[in-house]
A and B are shown apart, each in its own frame.
Chain A
């Protein structure tokens, strides 16, 4: 189980990486921490002619706080978030998600940017950051641009990166103090990929809620205005009004036609709702 041969190049700057990618075209692949790409290479499922290893680019190993957001460089690792080496967009919120990704040895090299570019529907950052309304910054041959994460994720393992494009940063809006977050994933064993992810960002004070159902074999289903899941309004008693049928209908609409799958996704979201409501301990097995 050894990779097919490839060339490896380690640019030191973003511009160099972009130039390399633009020049190399289709046969080139970006590698950040390599924790998702590495297995695909080892299994010879991916056989690029050139691997552009961006892990040496210092400019991507940054994090900065803005008034209402935190911007993470693409190479911030899961462990960087877990250990608090970068600011958290919500109190211990990303930290909790990060600590539930795979295993520590993987988290020490796996990166936020790499995970988003891999765009696995079951991945934690894909789901958690979609629930939080993140944006990504892309550097390409024609300059830089920002894209909502939901627009960036175009399908399973599929993202809106053109030739020469590189994801360089992730901007996560700060979660207001009045808001609460529930994030639950359903796995058969610890560290396994999720079979269902449910997330709810709810602000009873503001009367808003954003819900997500993920790991549905496609980019996550995000309900940016989730009031319909709670009888049309968000207040202190929102959790008691969780409308499973409405969630199931949304899943059906999104193409989840298997009733067992649908049931499980709704139940996992229900647990995220309870967690956001503080009724469900965040330390259960199914929580991150």
Chain B
């Protein structure tokens, strides 16, 4: 079998074609195509506006088709044909668009314009009719903050109308299946893995802690266990036992009965982080209730959370009902997304897992093998985050 092509964290030489010219240059795997053409190849006509694929300023042609240069890693485009605005100087369609843009006042500050022209050119080639609604849909991925789009839409429509009148039909060029620009990386050679130096990985910072904790978000859940109240409550007294039911949780030490130092490895989709911190555990035997108040950080984001539990008699004799109130606050980059999504469904699923693990524990089963489930305020936070993140990644 062919050896895979490996580009290590250190730079490796990348070869591709930029604006018809073969180029080869060193590139780090993390360097996106926009930075590569701008900083390494000095083609600064491609602009960077958001670096998460929404604004469209970085749109370039990859293998002849529009693609987001900010979401295409250069190393993943080895061997590709990349065309930036500089490469469209003599392109006939772009020349017509430039004339129309100028006539219709389709640009003001000009920052979105290179990406806008690349997307417009694609529309001119593909749209059969100068249909305004379709042109607007087709331009939806290129934000302009200056013009209000009216001139752009008119310009694109006029070029389409003109070309169709000249008998030039719309169509898409034949192409192979799969992502544009994705070739097997001809010319690159297999390289041994070079470990990214440990020093550049983020190290956890001590969490910031507020004296009085009022959670920004909270919800309540409950579940039933087929064991008496006292036994269930006793299990909650053993924080190591409880932690064993939380996959990802590590108890490093317990300086005293009330304090726990540890960490929580949290994984959700591609997000994976470890929050380290401390928790304080308090219990009230009279009311069969307790509070676990924790704070942790992963170096960039900080979280605080509390779980208030209360064990009640179950509906049937010899059973118990556990009521949980989970509250949390998340701060830092992980918190700064727009959609305070509801996590009840996720919470319900996780609490079901937790209940199952507790149940197993009470039955004397060994600590559950690590699974994806588990009640954990941090996990819930990350679940919440997932809801928020769908803004970005709903593709």
* Interface residues in chain A, defined as those with a beta carbon under 8 Å from any beta carbon in chain B: 1-13, 15-17, 20, 26, 29, 31-51, 53, 55-56, 58, 60-63, 73, 75-80, 83, 85-86, 101-106, 108-111, 115, 118-124, 154-158, 189-194, 215-218, 254-258, 261
- Contact in complex: B29, A8 (CB < 8 Å): yes
Which of B145-185 touch A at CB < 8 Å? 172, 175-185
Question: Which residue from B29, B195, B334 sits with its C-beta under 8 Å from A45?
Answer: B334
A9-B6 in contact given A15-B1, A158-B269, A217-B387 (Cβ < 8 Å): yes
- Contact in complex: A122, B394 (CB < 8 Å): yes
Which of B339-391 touch A at CB < 8 Å? 341-346, 348-349, 372, 383, 386-387, 389-391
A32 to B75, CA, bound (A): 13
A108-B179 in contact given A10-B76, A118-B393 (Cβ < 8 Å): yes
**A47 to chain B: which residues have CB within 8 Å?**
201-202, 272-273
A34 to B53, CA, bound (A): 10
- Nearest neighbor of A38 in chain B, beta-carbon distance: B71
**B270 to chain A: which residues have CB within 8 Å?**
29, 37, 40, 45-46, 48, 118, 157
Query: Smallest Cβ distance from A125 to chain B, in angstroms?
Result: 9
The count of A-to-B residue pairs whose CB atoms sit within 8 angstroms is: 295
A7-B177 in contact given A108-B62, A109-B68, A190-B137 (Cβ < 8 Å): no
**A105 to chain B: which residues have CB within 8 Å?**
56, 59, 66-68, 119, 141
A-B contact pairs, 14 of them (CB 8 A): A5-B29, A10-B7, A11-B5, A12-B1, A35-B395, A43-B52, A45-B334, A56-B185, A61-B177, A104-B141, A123-B395, A193-B392, A255-B348, A256-B345
- Contact in complex: A7, B178 (CB < 8 Å): no
**A104 to chain B: which residues have CB within 8 Å?**
66, 119, 122, 138, 141
- Contact in complex: A80, B73 (CB < 8 Å): no
- Contact in complex: A7, B6 (CB < 8 Å): yes
Nearest 6 CB-CB pairings of A with B: A103-B141, A157-B269, A193-B394, A55-B182, A8-B29, A38-B71
- Contact in complex: A7, B395 (CB < 8 Å): no
Question: Which residue from A37, A80, A218 sits with its C-beta under 8 Å from B177?
Answer: A80
A34 to B182, CA, bound (A): 11
**A9 to chain B: which residues have CB within 8 Å?**
4-7
The verdict on B284 contacting chain A, using a C-beta distance below 8 Å, is: no
Question: Which residue from B119, B122, B387 sits with its C-beta under 8 Å from A156?
Answer: B387
Which of B1-19 touch A at CB < 8 Å? 1-9
**A78 to chain B: which residues have CB within 8 Å?**
395
Query: Smallest Cβ distance from B372 to chain A, in angstroms?
Result: 7
**B178 to chain A: which residues have CB within 8 Å?**
55, 60-61, 73, 75-77, 80, 111
Query: Smallest Cβ distance from B135 to chain A, in angstroms?
Result: 12
What would 12 more interface pairs be, CB under 8 Å, given A7-B9, A11-B4, A118-B269?
Answer: A35-B71, A43-B52, A47-B273, A61-B177, A85-B175, A85-B177, A102-B53, A110-B395, A190-B140, A218-B345, A254-B345, A255-B345
A32 to B72, CA, bound (A): 10
- Contact in complex: A109, B72 (CB < 8 Å): yes
Interface flags for B262-289 (1: CB within 8 Å of A; 0: not) read 0000011111110000000000000000
A32 to B394, CA, bound (A): 15
- Contact in complex: A8, B75 (CB < 8 Å): yes
Question: Which residue from A4, A15, A156 sits with its C-beta under 8 Å from B201?
Answer: A4
**A111 to chain B: which residues have CB within 8 Å?**
178-179
Query: Smallest Cβ distance from A229 to chain B, in angstroms?
Result: 20
With a 10 A CB-CB cut-off, give which of B35, B51, B70 has the most chain A CB atoms: B51
A216 to B113, CA, bound (A): 37
**B345 to chain A: which residues have CB within 8 Å?**
216-218, 254-256
A119 to B268, CA, bound (A): 11
Query: Smallest Cβ distance from A150 to chain B, in angstroms?
Result: 14
Question: Which residue from A15, A16, A36, A158 sits with its C-beta under 8 Å from B395?
Answer: A36
**A261 to chain B: which residues have CB within 8 Å?**
342
Interface flags for B72-100 (1: CB within 8 Å of A; 0: not) read 11011010000000000000000000000
A115 to B193, CA, bound (A): 28
**A48 to chain B: which residues have CB within 8 Å?**
270, 272
- Nearest neighbor of B301 in chain A, beta-carbon distance: A45
The verdict on B200 contacting chain A, using a C-beta distance below 8 Å, is: yes
**B138 to chain A: which residues have CB within 8 Å?**
104
The verdict on B333 contacting chain A, using a C-beta distance below 8 Å, is: yes
- Contact in complex: B76, A7 (CB < 8 Å): no
- Nearest neighbor of B7 in chain A, beta-carbon distance: A8
